Chain A
């Protein structure tokens, strides 16, 4: 029997006192897609960084085609035919595609940069993976998905035999993801071995041949996909049963708290109408780029609205800045917590109290004792795992960071809390805790407007969903009627609005009749 293309055995790695990897093994066969799953911190990325030479292992061996080999640095990895597409892309956004693709080995003629050759070889590389964009476009102008394809083109051109994809669809739209999946299938057919890290069960099921699960830095299982169920894989990941992942309990909707009418930015988003009642969760679902985040940011005053009106408790309000919104007790948990919410060099205490400092002290002088009590209470209630509230948030896991941002808003005591992708990049245990927190907030009478690209999640915890398409609300669907199928029908425009006529209350313009 031929040895696998790659075999890693007994791999261990320590960082300081903590074991990031402990006796892990993994093998990749030619022509397979091997999914690597586990909660955040389980060791997937560390293992892949060892494979690609970013880290060197403390123990363990790596064999390629049965030959023991050492990988000391990324250059070694490339020489062995191993390429990795990172979550953060290693490209220069200001340079064109052609320039990026020849970075480090630019073609020259008589010592002068040969632009013609550079463009020709770039064209060839893109053609090999069937991407038909101009090579003269600066990379930064492309969507993240396109940039990723360019990275893959580079890897394929370098004759990579082993390709690692680290959460490749994390920021892709549906269309871009589809394109990526096709490409993955092609690369598999070509005999490459692909290691595929993802949190999304759906795509793992669609793509993978085998699944390896890691937990707490240890190998848990490797199975052929057809021998397991998604529920079993999740059980392996968390080490316990996660039935009833989504929490939707004891809800009862009250009065309308947030009313948005004809809100739009005058360009590609809106005008949109919606209402959220006290004690209910309403989700905006739809494709990435449909205008959901833009709508949320306009309600919160982060971006200016060109038209429309926001009302709280029936009273029209004017929101020109996030500060105005907070004064009217509207909160927004933004989609990207590191870029838009967290102060990574500051403590849990400061991050938590940042929006409600005025309530703790007089004349700007802080009452540290009151702050400590309040923050410790919230941190305990939300079960943020930390050593103390003076710990920096940079050392927390994604889920705990997200809980810190949530606790910031809870201290503001908003009437309306907008949650933009509240569980993105959060492991499954923390996800469930966040659903629990959201449910508790509704029981306190908060009105929750959520944006989620995780459809099962949106359907699982919402009372209603609003399907957004091309900057307009295409359809409102109640919890009882919402299924992934009918939501996607409206989100993609397969179904138009023959039902809309029945909804006499919402004067939603027809999807596709977008104004420019």
Chain B
């Protein structure tokens, strides 16, 4: 019996981590940003008047509401859940704020009140999901319907016009030349980025989405963390609803229909896994921007609305498809 070779023992190394894989992790991290830049470059060439400061601000303003929803949605999806009710919450909170204003409340009370309504919806969703252990899909699907019902019943299904809305600056104003909704959106992202990366709560969100049983055995308060995540989602939706009502200077009970799908699309485009535990909030912002740039460019090119829908849908399927293939290779 002979040993054919005498290798000195090198530290055990996993075969995956070698040169070349860095490109993959770079792509994983910044690939979505590259896609956005490519899209911007493409639109600059083919869409008239696309590349201008004004149009840039327009795009940003247009995406801000979806981006704020998507920011909260990122947290929910990171836990492995989903919130389908956010579109209805946008309507209910907008309506609530306008109602408060027309009832004579000061602007600040109207704004905070609307966000509070959003928080309550989130609290209800979160409590049901966490403590009853029911699937978030079902709980929030129900909420989508009953919350819409509330916003209709509060308004008799009629829009509440408030031409002198005290907080309309939230939708139409600007801070140092930047539209206020965009400033709010950026603030939301900075705060939630901080929460996810620099707080124990944020790390627990990833942990719960990645491996719920391991999270429990590591001593994490799983249920309470989930409640807080849906609460934050509710507040984000409330914020989006208030901004929406400020922009249209009215309470629209029909507002926000289908917004949940746009928000989910932005999150998934941004590389967050629907299964939970993996993703980045900055990716969501880029994802929302991609959707915004695409719509804006198509409008500028005078592409008919129906075709816009087809292109947007196809892009989402493509992006998620590429991500799915990537994951297939990983396993």
Interface residues of A (CB under 8 A from B): 15-20, 39, 41, 215-216, 218-221, 223, 227-228, 232, 236, 238-240, 300, 302, 321-323, 325-326, 332, 334, 339-346, 350, 354-355, 357-358, 361, 364-366, 368, 385, 387, 391, 395-397, 399-400, 408, 427, 429-430
Q: Which residues of chain B come closer than 8 Å to A240, judged between CB atoms?
A: 9
Please judge, given known A-B contacts A227-B1, A385-B11, whether A344 and B210 are in contact too, CB under 8 Å: yes
Instruction: Check A397 against B14 for contact (C-beta < 8 Å).
Output: yes
Q: Which residues of chain B come closer than 8 Å to A430, judged between CB atoms?
A: 12
Interface range on chain B: under 10, 10 to 19, 20 to 34, or 35 or more?
A: 35 or more
Instruction: Check B15 against A41 for contact (C-beta < 8 Å).
Output: yes
Instruction: Check A358 against B200 for contact (C-beta < 8 Å).
Output: yes
Stretch at the interface among B65-73, B182-190, B218-226, B281-289: B218-226
By beta carbon, the residue of chain B nearest A218 is B5
By beta carbon, the residue of chain A nearest B7 is A216
| B199 interface residue (CB < 8 Å to A) | yes
Chain A interface, >50% SS class: mixed
Instruction: Check A322 against B198 for contact (C-beta < 8 Å).
Output: no
The residue from A18, A238, A354, A365 contacting B15, defined by CB atoms under 8 A apart: A18
Within 8 A of A (CB), among B215-259: 215-221
Complex formed: what's the CA distance from A393 to B5 in Å?
32
Instruction: Check B214 against A339 for contact (C-beta < 8 Å).
Output: yes
The residue from A39, A326, A342 contacting B214, defined by CB atoms under 8 A apart: A342
Q: What are 19 A-B contacts with C-beta separation under 8 Å? A: A16-B16, A220-B3, A227-B1, A236-B3, A302-B216, A321-B216, A323-B221, A326-B219, A342-B211, A343-B211, A343-B277, A345-B210, A350-B203, A350-B207, A355-B218, A365-B198, A366-B200, A366-B203, A400-B12
The residue from B16, B17, B18, B198 contacting A368, defined by CB atoms under 8 A apart: B198
| B206 interface residue (CB < 8 Å to A) | yes
| B4 interface residue (CB < 8 Å to A) | yes
Please judge, given known A-B contacts A17-B18, A18-B15, whether A343 and B221 are in contact too, CB under 8 Å: no
Instruction: Check A346 against B12 for contact (C-beta < 8 Å).
Output: no
Q: Which residues of chain B come closer than 8 Å to A16, judged between CB atoms?
A: 15-16, 18-21
Q: Which residues of chain B come closer than 8 Å to A223, judged between CB atoms?
A: 1
8 closest A-B pairs (Cβ-Cβ)? A17-B18, A18-B15, A357-B200, A326-B219, A343-B210, A323-B219, A345-B278, A354-B218
By beta carbon, the residue of chain B nearest A344 is B210
| B2 interface residue (CB < 8 Å to A) | yes
Please judge, given known A-B contacts A16-B20, A215-B7, A221-B2, whether A343 and B216 are in contact too, CB under 8 Å: no
Complex formed: what's the CA distance from A396 to B15 in Å?
9
Instruction: Check A239 against B217 for contact (C-beta < 8 Å).
Output: no
Complex formed: what's the CA distance from A340 to B219 in Å?
12
Instruction: Check A322 against B3 for contact (C-beta < 8 Å).
Output: no
Please judge, given known A-B contacts A345-B278, A346-B206, whether A354 and B19 are in contact too, CB under 8 Å: no
**Distance of A348 from chain B, by nearest CB (Å):** 12
Contact indicator per residue, chain B 40-67, by CB within 8 Å of chain A (1) or not (0): 0000000000000000000000000000
With A300-B217, A346-B206, A350-B203 given, can you name 6 additional A-B contacts, CB distance below 8 Å? A15-B16, A218-B5, A220-B4, A340-B217, A343-B214, A361-B199
Q: Which residues of chain A come closer than 8 Å to B220, judged between CB atoms?
A: 323, 354
Instruction: Check A355 against B210 for contact (C-beta < 8 Å).
Output: no
Complex formed: what's the CA distance from A41 to B219 in Å?
32
By beta carbon, the residue of chain A nearest B208 is A343
Q: Which residues of chain A come closer than 8 Å to B21, judged between CB atoms?
A: 16
**Distance of A67 from chain B, by nearest CB (Å):** 27
By beta carbon, the residue of chain B nearest A227 is B1
Complex formed: what's the CA distance from A303 to B168 in Å?
54
Taking each of A300, A364, A391, which has the highest tally of chain B beta carbons within 10 Å of its own beta carbon? Answer: A364
Instruction: Check B1 against A228 for contact (C-beta < 8 Å).
Output: yes
Instruction: Check A332 against B217 for contact (C-beta < 8 Å).
Output: yes
**Distance of B279 from chain A, by nearest CB (Å):** 9
Instruction: Check B12 against A385 for contact (C-beta < 8 Å).
Output: yes
By beta carbon, the residue of chain B nearest A339 is B213
Instruction: Check A41 against B14 for contact (C-beta < 8 Å).
Output: yes
Complex formed: what's the CA distance from A227 to B211 in Å?
47
Q: Which residues of chain A come closer than 8 Å to B9, judged between CB atoms?
A: 238-240
Q: Which residues of chain A come closer than 8 Å to B199, judged between CB atoms?
A: 361, 364-366
By beta carbon, the residue of chain A nearest B276 is A345
Instruction: Check A18 against B218 for contact (C-beta < 8 Å).
Output: no
**Distance of A60 from chain B, by nearest CB (Å):** 16
**Distance of A12 from chain B, by nearest CB (Å):** 13
**Distance of B103 from chain A, by nearest CB (Å):** 37
The residue from B16, B217, B221 contacting A341, defined by CB atoms under 8 A apart: B217
Complex formed: what's the CA distance from A332 to B198 in Å?
26
Q: Which residues of chain B come closer than 8 Å to A408, judged between CB atoms?
A: 218
By beta carbon, the residue of chain A nearest B21 is A16
Taking each of B1, B20, B216, which has the highest tally of chain A beta carbons within 10 Å of its own beta carbon? Answer: B1
Instruction: Check A387 against B217 for contact (C-beta < 8 Å).
Output: no
Complex formed: what's the CA distance from A18 to B10 in Å?
13
The residue from A215, A221, A366, A395 contacting B16, defined by CB atoms under 8 A apart: A395
Taking each of A339, A342, A354, A400, which has the highest tally of chain B beta carbons within 10 Å of its own beta carbon? Answer: A354
Complex formed: what's the CA distance from A395 to B16 in Å?
7
The residue from B4, B16, B207, B277 contacting A354, defined by CB atoms under 8 A apart: B207
Complex formed: what's the CA distance from A430 to B213 in Å?
26
Complex formed: what's the CA distance from A427 to B6 in Å?
20
Complex formed: what's the CA distance from A297 to B169 in Å?
57
The residue from A323, A387, A399 contacting B17, defined by CB atoms under 8 A apart: A387
**Distance of B24 from chain A, by nearest CB (Å):** 9
**Distance of A76 from chain B, by nearest CB (Å):** 22
By beta carbon, the residue of chain A nearest B221 is A323
Within 8 A of A (CB), among B252-280: 277-278
Instruction: Check B277 against A355 for contact (C-beta < 8 Å).
Output: no
Q: Which residues of chain A come closer than 8 Å to B18, judged between CB atoms?
A: 16-18
By beta carbon, the residue of chain B nearest A220 is B3
Q: Which residues of chain B come closer than 8 Å to A429, judged between CB atoms?
A: 12
**Distance of A25 from chain B, by nearest CB (Å):** 10
**Distance of A185 from chain B, by nearest CB (Å):** 26
Q: Which residues of chain B come closer than 8 Å to A387, judged between CB atoms?
A: 17
**Distance of A419 from chain B, by nearest CB (Å):** 13
Complex formed: what's the CA distance from A343 to B1 in Å?
43
Q: Which residues of chain A come closer than 8 Å to B11, judged between CB atoms?
A: 385
Instruction: Check A361 against B217 for contact (C-beta < 8 Å).
Output: no
**Distance of A89 from chain B, by nearest CB (Å):** 16
By beta carbon, the residue of chain B nearest A46 is B15
Q: Which residues of chain A come closer than 8 Å to B2, judged between CB atoms?
A: 221
Taking each of B3, B12, B200, B218, which has the highest tally of chain A beta carbons within 10 Å of its own beta carbon? Answer: B218
Instruction: Check B207 against A219 for contact (C-beta < 8 Å).
Output: no
Please judge, given known A-B contacts A16-B16, A239-B7, whether A343 and B207 are in contact too, CB under 8 Å: yes
Instruction: Check A17 against B1 for contact (C-beta < 8 Å).
Output: no
The residue from B5, B201, B219 contacting A322, defined by CB atoms under 8 A apart: B219
Instruction: Check A339 against B218 for contact (C-beta < 8 Å).
Output: no
Please judge, given known A-B contacts A221-B1, A322-B219, A365-B198, whether A20 and B15 are in contact too, CB under 8 Å: yes
